[in-house]
Amino acid sequence: MGVESVVERTSGPVRAAEPFIALAGVEKTYRMGRLDYPALRGIDLEIGTGELVAIVGPSGSGKTTILNLVTGIDRPTAGTVTVGGKRIDTMSEEELAVWRGGHVGVVFQFFQLLPTLSALENAVLPLDFARRGSKRERFERARRNLALVGLGDKADHLPAELSGGQQQRVAIARALAADPQLIVGDEPTGNLDTGTAA
């Protein structure tokens, strides 16, 4: 990895024969002007179904790069990325968009909420993109997810009307929307107090 990241695992299920996430020989180099910056070098990582894994390390160590590769937001310079038995590094952009919509929930470090949409409308977006259920069912599910993160009473508020911690919880509700197989968070509780984060 760039500097040095560490993968921390919780005790989880016994590893199945085929991992849910597998990075093999992954490298990622970013071009910055005339310079190449190697963010990841030869990463091999396997994560089993049901495992909770934290990637920790200093700024610039490649943590976000790994998350972007696992979610198909970015592509490796070399190596393979397999999630749920599918080689996502070989998918087209359209295939990736459809796959992400049906299988991945992402909590971005800076929330990425749409400023002109209410908390409820932001939380329902993944369901709208995936065309899951009727409009009424999608909004009911989004309301349940907002209530789950303690924001049932803020559904009609715009992001600018919410604190940073509340915006982060809307982002978490949005990530849970489509009941994804994979939930990835880039510092998902960084703006929350200890009690709310737990």
* Reported confidence tier of residue 197, pLDDT bands at 50, 70, 90: low
Residue % of the chain over a pLDDT of 70: 88
17 and 54 fall within a common domain: yes
Task: Tell me whether residue 86 is in a domain.
Answer: yes
Taking the C-alpha atoms of residue 81 and residue 14, their distance in angstroms, rounded to an integer, is 22
85 and 32 fall within a common domain: yes
Closest CA to 151 of 178, 127, 120: 120
How is residue 173 annotated by DSSP?
H
pLDDT at 118 over 80: yes
Taking the C-alpha atoms of residue 184 and residue 67, their distance in angstroms, rounded to an integer, is 7
Do residues 186 and 109 lie in contact, with contact meaning Cβ atoms separated by under 8 Å? Answer: yes
What pLDDT digit, counting tens, does each position of 161-171 carry? 999 889 999 99
Task: Tell me whether residue 187 is in a domain.
Answer: no
84 and 119 fall within a common domain: no
* Reported confidence tier of residue 186, pLDDT bands at 50, 70, 90: confident
10 and 86 fall within a common domain: yes
Angle ∠(4,74,186) on CA atoms, nearest 5: 55
What pLDDT digit, counting tens, does each position of 34-67 carry? 999 899 999 999 999 989 899 888 888 888 999 9
Q: How many CA atoms lie within 13 A of 125 on its CB side?
A: 20
- Residue 79 structural domain: 6-90
Task: Tell me whether residue 99 is in a domain.
Answer: no
121 and 71 fall within a common domain: no
What pLDDT digit, counting tens, does each position of 132-153 carry? 889 999 999 999 999 999 999 9
18 and 86 fall within a common domain: yes
Task: Tell me whether residue 1 is in a domain.
Answer: no
pLDDT at 114 over 70: yes
Task: Tell me whether residue 168 is in a domain.
Answer: yes
Task: Tell me whether residue 105 is in a domain.
Answer: no
16 and 84 fall within a common domain: yes
Closest CA to 100 of 114, 84, 112, 113: 84
Can you give the pTM of this predicted structure?
0.79
85 and 119 fall within a common domain: no
Tally the domains of the chain.
2
